[in-house]
Amino acid sequence: MNIPESYNQLDQWTTVMFLYNSALKAINTKIEILNNEFIHLYNYNPIEHIKSRLKTPDSIVKKLKRDGRDVTIPNMIEHLSDIAGIRIICSFTSDIYLIAEMIAKQSDVTVLYIKDYISHPKANGYKSYHMVVTIPIYLSEGPVDTKVEIQIRTIAMDFWASLEHKIYYKFEGNAPAHLEEELKACADMVDMLDAKMFSLNQEIMKIGEEQKAEKEKM
């Protein structure tokens, strides 16, 4: 991220957060358009809802210190990828890869890296698909490429992750062993639920197509 010269006299923190906030708006708009296009073409809504957030100053400082880095704006820009975050919640696991592919195909979105915690879950059972991308924010002096982290997960995965997050911060990362075991068991149940719901949806769609075919014969 190269801050324009005309912004150098302004407070750097305000400028940087303005850029991250603008990137959230830009990505949000893209995702909404892609979702609406999919509804228009296929009469199917792959996205249930979208959440966005900017990391708080306190969280940024804690993460830099935890990583052993000096608390500076250049370090924040270079080493943190989740200051601007978008979470996309969808119904089925298959939708996750579809949405990720649609985002990656956008000509002005550059995918920096991907972490697929669905194919390779974390040891505690965490599942989600993470993309870190850059998107240009067009200012009066030209574009500024700004990082955004996109997390894509199912409703069930999001419910599990929300509970895990609460437990992690409640115990500051040192939850009792039995809670960790219960969480892992819940993650396995979430996996089974996602698979069952996908199978059920496939069955519903198949019946719908058969009924449509029968009506066309009449």
The crossing angle, in degrees rounded to 10, of helices 12-42 and 93-104 is: 120
Q: What is the reported pLDDT for 81?
A: 95
CATH number at residue 136: 3.30.460.10
Question: What tens digit of pLDDT does each residue of 124-134 get?
Answer: 899 999 999 99
Q: What is the reported pLDDT for 126?
A: 92
Full-model pTM? 0.86
Residue 6, CA distances (Å) to 72, 80, 218 in order: 21, 25, 70
DSSP for 100-117, written as a single string: HHHHHT-TT-EEEEEEET
Residues (pLDDT < 50) of the chain are none
Position 73, amino acid: I
Question: What tens digit of pLDDT does each residue of 98-151 get?
Answer: 999 999 999 999 999 999 999 999 988 999 999 999 999 998 888 999 999 999
Q: What is the reported pLDDT for 177?
A: 81
Q: What is the reported pLDDT for 7?
A: 61
Q: What is the reported pLDDT for 146?
A: 96
Nearest 5°: phi and psi at 194?
Answer: -60, -45
Beta pairing partners, 138:
143
Residue 29's domain spans which residues? 5-155
CB atoms under 10 Å from CB of 146, counted, come to: 24
Q: What is the reported pLDDT for 42?
A: 82
The tokens for 84 are: 């601007």
- CA-to-CA distance for 100 and 155, rounded, in angstroms? 16
Q: Note if 149 is an active site residue.
A: yes
Helix segments in the chain, DSSP class H: 12-42, 57-66, 73-79, 93-104, 155-170, 177-217
Catalytic residue among 32, 78, 149, 180: 149
Question: CB–CB of 90/152 below 8 Å?
Answer: yes
* Closest C-alpha to 189, from 127, 114, 102, 110: 127
Question: Does residue 216 lie in a domain region?
Answer: no
Question: Does residue 54 lie in a domain region?
Answer: yes
Question: Does residue 44 lie in a domain region?
Answer: yes
The crossing angle, in degrees rounded to 10, of helices 155-170 and 177-217 is: 170
Question: How many folded domains does the chain comprise?
Answer: 1
3-state secondary structure of 130: strand
Could you say which DSSP state residue 175 is in? Answer: -
Q: What is the reported pLDDT for 198?
A: 86
* Closest C-alpha to 132, from 120, 107, 157, 115: 115
Q: What is the reported pLDDT for 6?
A: 61
